[in-house]
A and B are shown apart, each in its own frame.
Chain A
């Protein structure tokens, strides 16, 4: 590994560019200068903090600490999914739906990757487990958030159609079928596009990072392919699970459309 370490001075040079952008925004009256500075400060503080957390975790390899870290990551991702919904499910479901689906998909796929594919010892070695889980959660979260948002918005807008189908004696699953399919598709398409464009349009971040850190390009590429496959499986499964639970929750035991279970947005 021939990693060039960055000094504080190097980072401040890059920070100057952000400052410059902020000044430019002020001059052009974009109304973004404050936001740029705050976002840049957040990046710095959040990443520094996670840096310290990772450092501590790497030094104390323990399943308990790893699980705690994984749960915190899951909770934040669940909160993010909820925050991105216009018409969110009321009560516990608003948070639990996305979190459960992410737990099922991201955790299963990460666990599979760690134990069967990467085969590190112990399997919860933070150096592998945290970046893998992080990338899984980050991408699954987006898929689920997009899919759920589409589902709830479509159900909200097309409730008369859903009810018209129920009135004709269709089952709930049939009545919401086309909406559910469209929503799953919209949740999965960004990930499929990312796979199709990888390496041609964009160089994926993780691979770039590994190459910067001095890893041989072909090794980095293999890891990137692994990640892309894991992410697509995780996002696909997570989106399907979340939209399955979500559509189920939109109806009650008498198969009535319960739009009152969504917030009015």
Chain B
């Protein structure tokens, strides 16, 4: 369940890339900026033109409606975007389940976007993504703007979501401590190519 297979994926700037992630696995992606991490995530979410095949549970991306694909293979970009005036207008249904876990008051749904701090935006972006119940999470530095405590909360929420739903995760981060805490596998990206990095210690 929730197995993500990438076969010969390439865009103008990256690849070809092969990757096989089983459901419930968390794959870390690191590498210098400009190495193509974001491009890889964008290609997997089918936002950019690409060659090669991507499968979710043996179903090809091409065989699925793009809207369904992006709902199931959810991409969270580093800087979350907001287009309505009020926070709540960006959510389908009630996100209260996840708000508390990130230390956010449900009251925040009635706030105007202008009032949000960058950390609040980032956490709300995560809530909005999880609310969609994706089977695969593509997370591009999801905790970059967060203080240490919020960062831990976010990690815990994502891990909890993963164990509840069996979601596969690709997580871009540069944080060594974080990698140790969350990684099942670790790949480093350089010049548009992936290289597996050995994890320093066996996770508990």
Contacts and interface: CB of A to CB of B under 8 A. Distances in A.
A166 B80 contact: no
A256 B45 CA distance: 10
A202 interface: no
Interface residues of A, number: 18
B46 interface: yes
Interface in A138-180: 158, 160-161, 163-171, 178
B193 interface: no
Given A168-B70, A168-B71, A163 B47 contact: yes
B87 to A, nearest CB: 14
B48 A169 contact: no
B81 A161 contact: yes
Interface string B141-172: 00000000000000000000000000000000
Contacts of A257: 47
B99 interface: no
A165 B83 contact: yes
Contact of B83 (A161, A252, A255): A161
A41 B141 CA distance: 62
A164 B45 CA distance: 11
A171 B45 contact: no
Contacts of B83: 158, 161, 164-165, 178
Contact of B70 (A158, A160, A166, A178): A166
Nearest to A160: B81
Given A164-B81, A165-B83, A178-B83, A171 B48 contact: no
A254 B42 CA distance: 13
Interface in A190-220: none
Contacts of B48: 256
B202 interface: no
Q: With a 10 A CB-CB cut-off, give which of A167, A169, A178, A252 has the most chain B CB atoms.
A: A167
B114 interface: no
B74 interface: yes
Nearest to A167: B75
A220 to B, nearest CB: 48
Nearest to A159: B81
Contacts of B70: 166-169
Nearest to A171: B67
Contacts of B49: 252, 256
Given A167-B47, A168-B132, A255 B74 contact: no
Contact of A170 (B46, B67, B77): B67
B81 A169 contact: no
A211 B116 CA distance: 61
B66 interface: yes
Contacts of B68: 169
Contact of A164 (B46, B66, B71, B80): B80
Interface in B71-113: 71, 74-77, 79-83
Contact of B66 (A161, A163, A178, A255): A255
Contacts of A168: 70-71, 74, 128-129, 132
Contacts of A163: 47, 81
Interface string B30-48: 0000000000000001111
Nearest to B128: A168
Contacts of A169: 67-68, 70-71, 132
Counting from the closest, the 6 A-B pairs by CB-CB distance are A169-B71, A164-B81, A255-B66, A161-B81, A167-B75, A254-B66
Given A158-B83, A168-B74, A257-B47, 17 more contacts: A160-B77, A160-B79, A161-B81, A161-B83, A163-B47, A165-B81, A165-B83, A166-B47, A166-B66, A166-B70, A167-B47, A168-B70, A168-B128, A168-B132, A169-B68, A169-B70, A256-B46
Interface of B: 45-49, 66-68, 70-71, 74-77, 79-83, 128-129, 132
